[in-house]
A and B are shown apart, each in its own frame.
Chain A
């Protein structure tokens, strides 16, 4: 399988702070790479470099064998799309959903003008929303709905690589499951390659095929998902996995208290 995205030696400095330090990573086509790290790990910066929003100070990117610089052609721009963390800030407050989607469809000439509305409706159903939402403004929608719209916007231009930067972190848990499920189904439907960023290992486990761990600007570990969760190879990976709060084991009734109480 050809690597869909190749990242070589990417370095980003913000003044004296090194946000990314020589990161090398390959994403295989049609897989989901779960990128996990804590604050300051550089995972968001890496996402923005790949999306073309931040210029790296060193290193190179290759998408489908072709170099990817910050100055990208329209087809290149189309092929890498991103969904952001904060649903309150990810949609233009002054545009309706329909205006937002139509603009993307028309700008990249995905469909001719007379088919735009139909395609908008189709996109809404793909992200499991009612077509009436097309006429709404972002502030009339809930956080989960806004993230669905952001997803619709991202897939409307038919990208090959989708970057998701903590898309569920700001959402309630009840909504999180649905959004993750949506990601999974869209990925297989559109044959996407996904870079999924999260600080939450539970989320990473739910969506990833491969897990990559970052710490302070450096890539620390890359493993297939099951191997990682069975036993991380680095100390930091183990530390991360151990820190996840877990539900206590409740023994069946009659075997006494299996929990730590505090009295």
Chain B
């Protein structure tokens, strides 16, 4: 006899399962990502296409967002820059997430010596300021995307390790892990098949806000001239390019900046929505 489900916790929102933040965030992201992906096919201009007789034009029918100081279409450049920045943002996270989650699980699950070692390692790495590290790496290996990938692989995993370690240590105490051990499952299986699926949702929530922070970092480095280098379009370099015209053609810097904010909000909302979802189950 299947009984009724257990009494649900009293939810302040009144219990509807749909999460507005999640849907809004996803929609926002899709709204930006789809045109960005399709950019090579839907934009009438190339991002580097200069037109020196049409420089610094305000928004018009031919150029929806106007042109920059070299006559390049702003909307096209923003979309192409989205391709660059968003893909770097995602790709740079792959290694840190994998290593961070793995180290965190191992530290939290095995505890004692391994935990002490990993924690020591984590605390040491966290002491290095991010921008300093990236500048050093850029200096050693040249600016550009590679520097960002390397730096983030070196220091970006720490936040995941911390969060996952705490979660793993908590789960380790719970009976369902004890049951898995009683059933004789080897530790590796428990880590990958049992612990990981339970730890991943929280890690993804962290990923969302972390990606937003990483995006800001990418754009900042581009602005400073040590990140993604021209001619690759990047919101950071676009903001820098627009600086001389800040008082007159402010949209040259503002619009790329707005794109960054927009993406950040979308990611935050997704993170919030996911966190809510996790709390519910």
Listed in ascending order, the chain A residues whose CB lies under 8 Å from chain B are 48, 51-53, 72, 74, 77-78, 80-82, 84-86, 89-95, 103-104, 107-108, 128-130, 132-133, 137, 139-145, 150, 153, 157
Q: Which residue of B lies closest to A146 (CB)?
A: B6
CA distance A132 to B178 in the complex (A): 26
Q: Which residue of B lies closest to A94 (CB)?
A: B197
- Tell me whether A53 and B181 are in contact (CB under 8 A): yes
- Tell me whether A89 and B198 are in contact (CB under 8 A): no
- Tell me whether B175 and A86 are in contact (CB under 8 A): yes
Please, which residues of chain B bring their CB within 8 A of the CB of A89?
174-176
Q: Which chain B residues in 182-240 approach chain A with CB under 8 Å?
A: 182-185, 193-194, 197-198
CA distance A74 to B281 in the complex (A): 33
In the assembled complex, 22 residue pairs joining A and B whose CB atoms fall closer than 8 Å, in A order, are: A48-B178, A51-B182, A82-B178, A84-B179, A90-B175, A91-B176, A91-B179, A92-B194, A93-B176, A93-B198, A93-B281, A95-B194, A108-B184, A130-B2, A139-B6, A139-B281, A140-B5, A141-B3, A141-B6, A142-B4, A150-B179, A153-B179
Q: Which chain B residues in 95-153 approach chain A with CB under 8 Å?
A: none
Please, which residues of chain A bring their CB within 8 A of the CB of B3?
141-142, 144-145
Which 7 residue pairs across A and B have the least CB separation, nearest first?
A77-B184, A84-B175, A90-B175, A89-B174, A94-B197, A92-B176, A142-B3
CA distance A95 to B189 in the complex (A): 14
In the complex, how many angstroms separate the beta carbon of B26 from the nearest chain A beta carbon?
22
Extra contacts, 15 of them, besides A81-B183, A89-B174, A104-B183 (Cβ < 8 A), are A72-B184, A77-B183, A81-B182, A82-B179, A90-B175, A92-B198, A95-B197, A103-B193, A132-B2, A140-B5, A141-B6, A142-B3, A145-B2, A145-B3, A150-B179
CA distance A82 to B180 in the complex (A): 10
Map CB proximity to A onto B1-14 as digits: 1 under 8 Å, 0 otherwise: 11111100000000
CA distance A93 to B3 in the complex (A): 19
CA distance A78 to B182 in the complex (A): 8
- Tell me whether A142 and B179 are in contact (CB under 8 A): no
CA distance A144 to B5 in the complex (A): 11
Q: Which residue of B lies closest to A150 (CB)?
A: B179
In the complex, how many angstroms separate the beta carbon of A121 from the nearest chain B beta carbon?
14
Please, which residues of chain B bring their CB within 8 A of the CB of A140?
5
Map CB proximity to A onto B166-178 as digits: 1 under 8 Å, 0 otherwise: 0000000011101
CA distance A48 to B179 in the complex (A): 11
Listed in ascending order, the chain B residues whose CB lies under 8 Å from chain A are 1-6, 174-176, 178-185, 193-194, 197-198, 281
In the complex, how many angstroms separate the beta carbon of B111 from the nearest chain A beta carbon?
14
Please, which residues of chain B bring their CB within 8 A of the CB of A94?
197-198
In the complex, how many angstroms separate the beta carbon of B278 from the nearest chain A beta carbon?
10
- Tell me whether A53 and B182 are in contact (CB under 8 A): yes
Please, which residues of chain A bring their CB within 8 A of the CB of B180?
92
CA distance A95 to B183 in the complex (A): 16
Q: Which residue of A lies closest to B197 (CB)?
A: A94
CA distance A143 to B184 in the complex (A): 25
A82 touching B194 in the complex, CB below 8 Å, given contacts A132-B2, A142-B5: no
Please, which residues of chain B bring their CB within 8 A of the CB of A93?
176, 198, 281
Please, which residues of chain A bring their CB within 8 A of the CB of B181?
52-53
Q: Which residue of B lies closest to A144 (CB)?
A: B3
CA distance A24 to B4 in the complex (A): 44
CA distance A85 to B197 in the complex (A): 24
In the complex, how many angstroms separate the beta carbon of A79 from the nearest chain B beta carbon?
10
Q: Which residue of A lies closest to B201 (CB)?
A: A94
Please, which residues of chain A bring their CB within 8 A of the CB of B179?
82, 84, 90-91, 150, 153
CA distance A104 to B182 in the complex (A): 11
- Tell me whether B178 and A84 are in contact (CB under 8 A): yes
In the complex, how many angstroms separate the beta carbon of B174 from the nearest chain A beta carbon?
4
Partner of A107, one of B1, B4, B184: B184
Please, which residues of chain B bring their CB within 8 A of the CB of A103?
193
CA distance A51 to B181 in the complex (A): 9
Please, which residues of chain A bring their CB within 8 A of the CB of B1?
128-130
CA distance A91 to B281 in the complex (A): 13
Please, which residues of chain A bring their CB within 8 A of the CB of B185?
107
CA distance A93 to B179 in the complex (A): 13
- Tell me whether B182 and A80 are in contact (CB under 8 A): yes
Please, which residues of chain A bring their CB within 8 A of the CB of B178?
48, 51, 53, 82, 84
- Tell me whether A82 and B5 are in contact (CB under 8 A): no
Please, which residues of chain A bring their CB within 8 A of the CB of B176?
89-93
